[in-house]
Amino acid sequence: MDHKEETPHTSKVELVASTGDTTRHLENNDDGLQGYFETAQWTADGTALLTSSSSNLISGYIVPEDLLSPTANRPLKLTPQATIQLPEPSNVLAGAPYFRLAEPWTQQLLVSSRDHPIQLFYLSPSPSPASSYPLTQARSETFLTATALIWPSPGTHFVTGSRNLLARFDVTRTGEDPVVRVKTIPSERHISKGGGVGMRGTVSSLAAQPPDADFASLVAAGTWTRWVGLYDFALPAASAAVATWSVASAAARDARVAGDGVVQTLWSPCGRYLLVGERKATGVLVYDVRVTGKLLGWLAGREALGNQRISCDVYPGQDGVGGGAAGFEVWSGTTNGTVKMWEGVGTREGAHEPAWSWDAARNSTVGSTCVHQSGTVVATCSGSWEFPNDDGGSGGENESLSQDTSDSDESDSAESGGTSDISRPTSPWMRRRHKESGLKIWSILNNSEDAEP
């Protein structure tokens, strides 16, 4: 029996479509658990959602045509129209910036799996990749895992990040190495690993400046070592680094939001401001890139208290300009199932409290919150696991979702193979259980005067 969705306790949004709780529909997985949603993103034309799950499954959901129909029986049921089962965990997923539902050849996406080249798939029943792009060490054939990836408009090139390295690929050059390699430190062989120049560490996030920004297009990169760098691929590789700085001191001393590694870098719609979100943090840092490395303020109350990635989204302010007098909006989930929205970001310094919020999941992490380009609906995906205590209580959420080094969740799961002594206590990994997980679409109602903050 399908779980009946609860009505959100706010007059700001209305649930219009949902997959329901997918953890209630178990399949024949190796560990007996249905994978939960980790990420979600809109396609470029806004007609579909691409999701990734903890079971290495990529899915495509076409938005129902009667999504906002007043006569529809809500919430509408969301079912995947296409799925791709990956052989290994995927660190990144990016849809084509020219994706169009009416043109099948444009329905492409890029994924990066461990020990594999970067692969391009079509969102179709075909399980095989259409193209591949090897990212290898310069002096060997060893594959480097792309730990971050962006595919900006117009879509002729994409940029990946790995350990101490950024690489730019030409989509048309199938099977070829990147056309540009940019080292984030001068040399890994130096006694001080770069001599204090550049940013050292695994690149965990990438963001491309909006194409209509006021100045040259930049790529913002973040690392698990809590550094942020701005790179311009229009320059020669040796001088592509425009600026680098650490966010550790600002997060600890100024904002006091803590943090343990950058999970997202995100530009404002105008391209003047850069948002930096970290894991194990209680806020999001806001930088004005016109004054490099200087903290403008922070979004307070964004609880991202575990290792799990939590991604936020931005939308232009009421004046229609992302950095104008009205600032811009930021939407984000939290580890406790709440989605929060901040208004007027970029218009003030210091702490910035959320304008309003609603409960999008039942005590489960909302990993992705993405606003439709029309501004009328917002999609959320939730999911996480917990480890029950010996007395049957909850032992907390997952702490092994970070993708900076080895996938500890994968290595631990190897314990499920083979035969074990029945007298041995069951490992915590074997006793884990999933919290509520689902993909939901919410209609944003135009009655802000009635909503509770």
Please provide the average confidence, as pLDDT, over all residues in the chain.
83
pLDDT greater than 80 at residue 313: yes
- Model pLDDT, residue 317: 84
Percent of the chain exceeding pLDDT 90 equals 62
User: Which phi and psi angles does 408 have, rounded to 5°?
Assistant: -65, -30
Domains detected in the chain: 13-409+424-450 (2.130.10.10)
Which DSSP helix (H) or strand (E) runs through 248?
helix 248-249
Which DSSP letter does residue 449 get? Answer: G
List the structure tokens of 5.
Answer: 């969705």
**Residue 26 pLDDT grade (very low, low, confident, very high; cuts 50, 70, 90):** very low
Question: Which residues are paired to 277 by β-bridges?
Answer: 264, 284
More confident residue, 44 or 406: 44
Percent of the chain exceeding pLDDT 70 equals 79
Segment 346-366 shows an average pLDDT of 94
pLDDT greater than 70 at residue 27: no
What pTM was estimated for this model as a whole? 0.86
65-74, 136-145, 352-361: which has the highest mean pLDDT?
Answer: 352-361
Neighbour count for residue 177 (Cβ, 10 Å)? 13
Classify each residue of 71-95 as buried b or exposed e, where b means 16 or more C-beta atoms within 10 Å of its C-beta. Answer: eeebbbebebebebebeebbbbbbb
pLDDT tens per residue across span 264-276: 999 999 999 999 9
pLDDT greater than 60 at residue 8: no
pLDDT tens per residue across span 56-114: 999 999 999 999 998 889 899 999 999 999 888 888 999 999 999 999 999 999 999 88
pLDDT tens per residue across span 397-452: 554 443 444 333 333 333 333 333 444 445 555 566 778 899 999 999 875 444 33
Q: For residue 267, give every residue at least 6 positions away whose Cβ sits within 8 Å of its Cβ, in sequence order, or none.
A: 207, 208, 209, 210, 213, 220, 273, 274, 275, 314
State which amino acid sits at residue 369: T
Which DSSP letter does residue 24 get? Answer: G
Which DSSP helix (H) or strand (E) runs through 18?
strand 13-18
